[in-house]
A = this chain, B = another copy of it.
Amino acid sequence: MKGIDQRVTEFEHQLRKAGLRMTQQRRLILRVLAEADDHPDAKGIFTRAFVHDPTLSLSTVYRTMKLLETQGAIERHAFEDGVSRYEHADQAHHDHLIDIETGKVIEFSSPEIEELQAKIAAKLGYEIVRHKLELYGRKLGGKTRRRRPGA
């Protein structure tokens, strides 16, 4: 892994610059996010953090996620399950493939697609500010359908 404390400190500077404060709760949530390698929702983040601080409230998680989002420290996703899911933003841009049977989220990136998107937008007279590309699919070959023995 690469410096969780470093990220926290980094974020603390961002906060200071905006007259905001680095609290125990924010530090904890930041740690949980840095340790996550998936895309947890607010409740999930709350659950993981609650273990380390049983006084933490879900409201604070929501408020912190909103803060982190406006500060550009995390990204919010709205996959088909209806709830908002988050991930820290200190990684290269990528899009997601969701396994519709297991819910597993796989990350990928395609410079070609990104380029085509920009080209399409330009042709329509627009510049892309952000975008969302989500593929929902099912595993290939997994359940290999073999011919019925009797046939």
> Which residues of A are in contact with B by a Cβ distance under 8 Å?
78, 80, 97, 99-100, 106, 108, 110, 112-113, 116-117, 120-122, 124-141
Listed A/B pairs (28) with beta-carbon separation below 8 Å: A97-B120, A97-B121, A97-B124, A97-B126, A106-B126, A108-B124, A112-B116, A113-B117, A116-B116, A117-B133, A121-B137, A122-B140, A125-B140, A126-B137, A126-B139, A126-B140, A127-B137, A127-B138, A127-B140, A128-B137, A129-B137, A129-B138, A131-B133, A131-B134, A131-B135, A131-B136, A132-B132, A133-B133
Inside 8 A of A80's CB, which chain B residues have their CB? 78
Secondary structure at chain A's binding surface: helix, strand, loop or mixed?
strand
Distance A127 CA – B138 CA, assembled complex (angstroms): 6
Cβ–Cβ contact A125 & B141, under 8 A: yes
Inside 8 A of A140's CB, which chain B residues have their CB? 122, 125-127
B99, B110, B130: the one within 8 Å of A116 (CB): B110
A20 to chain B, nearest CB (A): 25
Inside 8 A of A126's CB, which chain B residues have their CB? 97, 99, 106, 135, 137-140
Other than the known A97-B124, A120-B135, what 9 A-B pairs have Cβ atoms closer than 8 Å? A78-B78, A106-B126, A108-B120, A110-B116, A121-B135, A121-B137, A125-B139, A126-B137, A133-B134
